[in-house]
Amino acid sequence: MNKTQAVAAVLAATTTEPIVCTTGYACRIARHLDDRPSHFYMTGSMGLASSIGIGVARETGRTTVVVDGDGSLLMNPVGLITAGALPTLPLAHIVLDDGCYASTGGQTVPSRGADLCALALASGYARAEETDDAERFAELVRAAVADCTAPVLVLARLTSADPPVPGRVEGDLAEHARRFGHSLAGKG
């Protein structure tokens, strides 16, 4: 499974649910595959995708999907601790783990000793599962989104190369935030 396939599986499992994508390729791929008003492309603030998702889920009560990366999650694991302390938060936290910082040159993420699923469970997540199989991943994401009553984590272990990655997210970021806000208000 590569990152493009994993993002496609997240989009296939969702319709109008808010989706917060972390900085880097996750945003670019999601936008290229289907640029829904319910997507929030976090182009900076690496490490904070789950925090934004927590705020959205807590405020709207809606199942909120976070598309995170291994490097992004490790830049600020306090997101895990914060979500884990909110046992009824409907947060489907998807982690695309390719073991590298893909958009900055493929440097290795220093996670050799870290078990991200164990970290989520130890933080209070209700479930955390990982797979390197595309079909199994799609199944886990569907299940996480369909019945989301607590923070859950699904980790895709990515092992294949991606096709050329689409261009940067362009346009006015304030306008992008307004579009997402309208979508959350049911106007999008």
Residues of this chain that bind another protein (CB under 8 A): 20, 40, 42-48, 50-60, 76, 78-79, 81-82, 173-174, 176-177, 180-181, 184-185
Closest to another protein by CB, 63 vs 82, is 82
Residue 59 Cβ, how far from another protein at the closest point, in Å? 4
Question: Min. distance of Cβ 28 from another protein in angstroms?
Answer: 16
Determine the 3-state secondary structure of 2 from DSSP: coil
Contacts of 94 by beta carbon, 8 Å cutoff, 6+ apart: 6, 10, 65, 66, 67, 68, 141, 144, 153, 154, 155, 156
The residue among 112 and 175 lying less far from another protein, judged by its C-beta, is 175
- Min. distance of Cβ 60 from another protein in angstroms? 5
Which C-beta is closer to another protein: that of 5 or that of 60?
Answer: 60
**Cβ atoms within 10 Å, residue 40:** 26
Instruction: In whole angstroms, give the CA distance from residue 28 to residue 171.
Output: 13
Q: Which is nearer to another protein, 4 or 72 (CB)?
A: 72
CA atoms within 13 A on the CB side of 106: 2
